[in-house]
Structure 1
Amino acid sequence: MCGIVGYCGAGNQDNLKSLSKLLHHRGPDDEGFYFDELVGLAHRRLSIIDLSPLGHQPMSSEDDSLQIIFNGEIYNYQALKNELLATGRHQFKSHSDTEVILHLYEDLGTACFAKLNGMFALAIWDKNKQELILARDRVGEKPLYYAEINNVFYFSSELKVFPSIAGFTKKLNHQVFLKYLDQGYCPGPNTIFESVQKLGAGEFLVYKNNQIKIEKYWTLPTLADKSALTFSEAVSQLDNLIDEAVKIRLMSDVPLGVFLSGGLDSSLVAYYAQNNSSQKIKTFTISFGEKSFDESPHAAEVAKLLNTDHHVAQVSAAELLSTIDGLPSILDEPLADSSIIPTYWLSKKTRASVTVALGGDAGDELFFGYQTFKAWRYWQILRSQPAFIRQSLKSLVNILPSRSGYFSADFKFKRAILNFDADFYNQHFRWFSPFTLGELGELVKSPDTLDYHHSWPAEDYSKSLNQSAALYQKYYLTDDIFTKVDRASMAVSLETRAPLVDYRLIEFANSLPPDFKFHHGQGKYILKKLAEKYLPENIIYREKHGFPSPVDAWLRGPLKSRAEELFSGEKIIKQALLNPEFVQFLWQDFLSGNHYRARQIWPLFIWQLWAEKYL
């Protein structure tokens, strides 16, 4: 895993060297540069495959007409290398996957990206064509940002680089700001800064003659309504696909392990990893005091069953809290997903033993695991009830006592009831929003700019559970989950790999009908039936837990004074973005005992932290 940054145009070489230093955490093992009259490329290397100097980047073709900088891993690079050697046209000087991409581009041009199975963000300078090509992996595991500043094209692995470029203006993208408040993350292709864009998942970009051209080389497969496979046939194929996806992600020239929470997805990944290893695999989890949030006993049970070399790291409240003021530097865009904090500490503790870790991300998006899919059944029932019953239930939830536990019963009940009369699309996304649309209108200084229904692309995602799952895959997975995991892990120079987003597995999962994935109120049905072959039922069928932080207790205790400082009228008035009176109402209502407000206070707290650093 690495960091890349560069420019095309009249850029400054010394400035690029300074920008590269901002990405040191992504690649502490080596640094390299390439400059010519038009292009500057910088690479920070975290050595994983071919640790020798021959893997140094930027890497050139044999005639020096091509230069590449690459962040990621290509899991099928050996097979691709054999194909290239068989043509008799190529010689290799290294054992790296980077060189395979370079030779593949020589043969196929931009068509080469569709042959790569892996996670990547890369840049290729084609000197003969005078083209700079950027490309990003199919699901956006690895980030890639770009902008034109003073007629120079810049790109980088992280957004934090751009404010250090001469001429950059920190103009806020107000629609992205609204989307952040609504969903807790910044969905692409835009960023929180108006002038910077994200290259989309499965896209490549060609920059030539001051023109940008973007094309898709892979599109998220449409989710199917029917399948020719029987359920048992589908389980068997799923078994083979996950096994292969995990196996190819075990390749590494450095120590490797598995994140293990004790939940279904990470436990399955750990099972397949151990099954494909001749030695005990290392598994990692963290433990901290708040029992409602601690999964370490479940992880220990799975580790014992699989006979792994299990590591449990105790993380104190003081350690968790010490991370918070540094979150804007780690994230560089606001992200209200509080699991970034334990994810960072899990990565930090894991990095003490290994350089690569596999995780279980994407099971919920592919196999209908979120609470919204379960709530959908009740929404259908509620919609059929008379209006006075629906209204009575809405009134009831507003007087229910609130609790602070993760996904407490009152929280789930309120989200289900408050959203049942929304359109199908909004039912799912309002669940993740901390605010009602009415509250957002009060919170934002200029509510007339908030048009939630038109703030997302115009595709029709409202027809079925399949289409709602497609939204999770297209936006939430890429712009929340993978952003969180990439920043948390790369902040400590740890590479993470997600076997469940192997593109073959995604294509297979999306070819299955909904009732294979959500059956009689049970999400991830086919995954659970597969897991019954290998894991105990108490692990498979225990309620989804997630990986949150006890923000309610923090905001009432050790973070209270910091929150009051950030929520001061002076700071909010200066930004001219939020209504200070409504912010104070939310804060005081939270302090008076309304635990439900913690889910609204936290994104505001994170926003204020981010704004303090970047605006």
Structure 2
Amino acid sequence: MCGISVIVALDQKKNLKNNIDVTSPHEGIVNGFHRRSVSEKLEESLDLLAHRGPDSRGQWVSEDSRVALGHVRLAIVDLSPNGVQPFHGMDGSIHAVVNGELYDADRIRADLIREAGYVFKGHSDCEIVVALYKQHGISFLRHLRGEFALCLYDSRAKYFVAARDRYGIKPLFWTYLEGKLLVASEAKAFLPLGWKPKWDVKCLMDDGWRHDQRTPFEGVNKVRPGHYLTCNAFGSIEMRQYWDLNFPNKVVADPRTEEEIVEGVRSRLLDAVRLRLRADVPVGVYLSGGVDSSAVAGMMCHLFKERGNKIGIEKGLERMTCFTIAFDEASGMDESRIAERTAQHLGVTLIKKYMNEEEIAKRFEDAVWHSEHQNYDLNFVGKFALSEAPRELGFKVVLTGEGADEVFGGYPAFLPDFLREPDHAWPYSNLTDEERQKQLTKAELVAAEFYKGRALKLLSHGDSLADRQLNNISSPASLASYTFPLFAPWTSSYGESDPCVTIANNVDGRVRERMLKKWHPLHSALYIWTKGNLANVLLACLGDRSEMAHSVEGRLPLLDHELTEYVNKAPPSLKIRYNKENGFSEKWLLREAVKPFIIEEVYNRKKHGYAAPTGWPRDGPLHKLFQRLVTRENVERLGFVDWSSVEDLVHKAFVGHNTVALRCTNVVAQWVVLSQRFGIETATPVPDST
């Protein structure tokens, strides 16, 4: 797990795709810098990524001074100097920097040695990238299994590739600046390279940062999950897809038995956990009160006992070690007691990270700096703090349970879409059509009330533009933000903004066709959440960014693509199970698969999303923090926020105890922090083009 920063000088005589205009001539020096200074600039960029890789760093500049690859390393597999990047091919023509972990690398390495006679420098899992490209060309991406972001340059073909893993677990950003293509693990790495941050106001209004490739920063984009960006002969930049989610035809019955499908999930999940225990450093696990992390911990413990894997045996830690966050029990958000009971059942060590209001307040600004985008909940600060615990005990790697809700159907918003159509793929369901219609009406009312209380607005659906494109599923509306009243009046010059339309527009036309004609509405909803909220929020500020801020690598077995491809084929009625006596059981297929590895309390427990408390006292640390951040001067410096809509928010949040006001205050405060830390220009009205 590491950080990368890359500079590529483009051919100014050719136009770039994606509506990027190139006007200045190429000066024949590396990316606008003299060769002597490019190394210094790249080093400054790597300094801002040092938290991602404190163990070593390296860089390479091509002979023609057009490509510069930089890397900071968190040493996990092959701790020797042989694992230091950039990696170079045997003949010196292929060069790569990789962030992440690639699993089953030993088997792939053996195949490449046998079939191609490839000679590896060391034993790093990431070194297989160069060898696979040499053997398979751009098709090498299909052979990678794990969490990764990478940049590769073929100097003979003058071909540059930047790619991101299938689910977007690892971040990868790019921008175009004065004839340079810049690519990095975090946007802050662009600052020493001449980037002057500006707000992308339209993106903020659209919720584009949350649902598509945009970021809060104008001109800075993400490489989409399951995609790769190419630059051929320093000419046009193109983005192409190499993998996507798929689901079966909703009218075709699944011929398998329930037991067969459950066992298939169990065996694949065990394999995913096993592969993620490969490390030359101690491996821990994050544990909450939910079925997801409990399943990972239970399976990890099972493998530990069965195979004798040496997990966590360092500095006297002779047992598997779990880490959990503990909020004030009176808040109703604390799950540490349940995690404690799971740890006792497994016979493993549990380390608690206690979080009170003061602890959240003092970490808030640093957590925002590392996230690089807003979050509606303070839970990201809790995850930021939790990631301190493994490093304090010498752990560089933790397994986590993220992704299960989007794969197995865990969120309340999914129930209406599960009920929207009959499930012809599973004719054994005891849910009659009459009961389905009745439960659908009830579920939509419950979901609307739930999301309204979380400062999200469940908009009316059924005849909107977004609804017509996405087969009338309601899940997109459950993701629509409630921040639009905060924007200054002049922002109307950007035109109308509807986050639901943003979500619909983010879906490929071929996929929209499948949603309309082929996929069950539940599967369409899973796709929407996976491509947007999971990749851009949960895997970012609640995943990589919080963990890597403390040099901790998170590994996500529940997003192993060989597992998820199998789960995606299962009928909706096995993901959300209906029982006349107990109602609906979310993630039923996962619960059944992991039942041997979790305690009964967790097996029977309803979904409780990870969230920070929403009730905080007047004149407490958070109240004082937000009073300091959300001032007229700071808000007006943003430029795009209407002060008259904001001035009473802090009072309403901490004196009136209004949850919606607290979430909106939280968002504005984060914008202020980003503005200050990044030095973002004040947004100004768009000049009249008439």
Asked if TM exceeds 0.5, the reply is yes
Distance 2:618 2:673 in 1: 14
Give the corresponding residue for 1:285.
324
Decide whether the 8 Å contact of 1:285 with 1:299 is kept in 2: yes
Decide whether the 8 Å contact of 2:369 with 2:673 is kept in 1: no
Distance 2:663 2:645 in 1: 15
Distance 1:416 1:321, change over 3 A: closer
Give the corresponding residue for 2:627.
564
Give the corresponding residue for 1:355.
396
Q: CA deviation at 1:114?
A: 0.4
1:494-520 Cα deviation digits (max 9, x unpaired): 011000000011111111111110122
SS at match of 1:361: coil
Aligned partner of 1:216: which letter? Q
Distance 1:446 1:575, change over 3 A: farther
Give the corresponding residue for 1:456.
503
Higher mean C-alpha displacement, 84-93 vs 299-308: 84-93
Distance 1:574 1:413, change over 3 A: closer
Decide whether the 8 Å contact of 1:186 with 1:192 is kept in 2: no
Distance 1:588 1:444, change over 3 A: farther
Q: CA deviation at 1:293?
A: 1.9
Give the corresponding residue for 1:400.
none
Give the corresponding residue for 1:188.
212
SS at match of 2:605: coil
Distance 1:223 1:324, change over 3 A: farther
Aligned partner of 2:458: which letter? N
Give the corresponding residue for 2:373.
333
Aligned partner of 2:364: which letter? I
Distance 1:358 1:328 in 2: 23
1:206 and 2:206 aligned: no
1:267 and 2:294 aligned: yes
Distance 1:609 1:271 in 2: 39
1:33 and 2:96 aligned: no
Q: CA deviation at 1:342?
A: 1.4
Q: Paired residue for 1:466, among 518, 523, 528?
A: 523
Distance 2:536 2:156 in 1: 35
SS at match of 1:40: strand
Give the corresponding residue for 2:17.
none
Aligned partner of 1:190: which letter? R
Distance 1:416 1:224 in 2: 35
Decide whether the 8 Å contact of 1:267 with 1:302 is kept in 2: yes
The 5-angstrom pairing of residues 46-445 of structure 1 reads 46-166=74-194, 168-180=195-207, 186-208=210-232, 209-222=234-247, 225=250, 226-277=253-304, 278=308, 280-291=319-330, 292-353=332-393, 354-374=395-415, 411=450, 419=458, 421-423=460-462, 427-435=474-482, 439=485, 445=491
Distance 1:422 1:440, change over 3 A: farther
Distance 1:467 1:82 in 2: 39
Distance 2:382 2:483 in 1: 28
Distance 1:335 1:365 in 2: 19
Give the corresponding residue for 2:426.
none
1:199-218 Cα deviation digits (max 9, x unpaired): 11111122132311222111
Aligned partner of 2:640: which letter? L
Decide whether the 8 Å contact of 2:451 with 2:457 is kept in 1: no
Give the corresponding residue for 2:664.
600
Q: Which runs of 5+ in 2 are unaligned?
A: 10-29, 32-37, 311-318, 422-433, 579-583, 681-690
Distance 1:601 1:113 in 2: 42
TM-score, normalisation: structure 1: 0.89
Give the corresponding residue for 2:492.
446
TM-score, normalisation: structure 2: 0.80
How many equivalent pairs are there? 593
1:533-566 Cα deviation digits (max 9, x unpaired): 3323321222322332224316763222332343
Decide whether the 8 Å contact of 2:452 with 2:458 is kept in 1: no
Q: CA deviation at 1:233?
A: 1.1
Distance 1:42 1:563 in 2: 37
Give the corresponding residue for 1:401.
none
Distance 1:97 1:377 in 2: 40
Aligned partner of 1:239: which letter? R
Distance 1:419 1:223, change over 3 A: farther
Decide whether the 8 Å contact of 1:145 with 1:196 is kept in 2: yes
Distance 2:191 2:376 in 1: 22
1:562-585 Cα deviation digits (max 9, x unpaired): 323433333333433122222235
1:504 and 2:562 aligned: yes
SS at match of 1:227: coil
Give the corresponding residue for 2:4.
4
Distance 1:160 1:101, change over 3 A: same
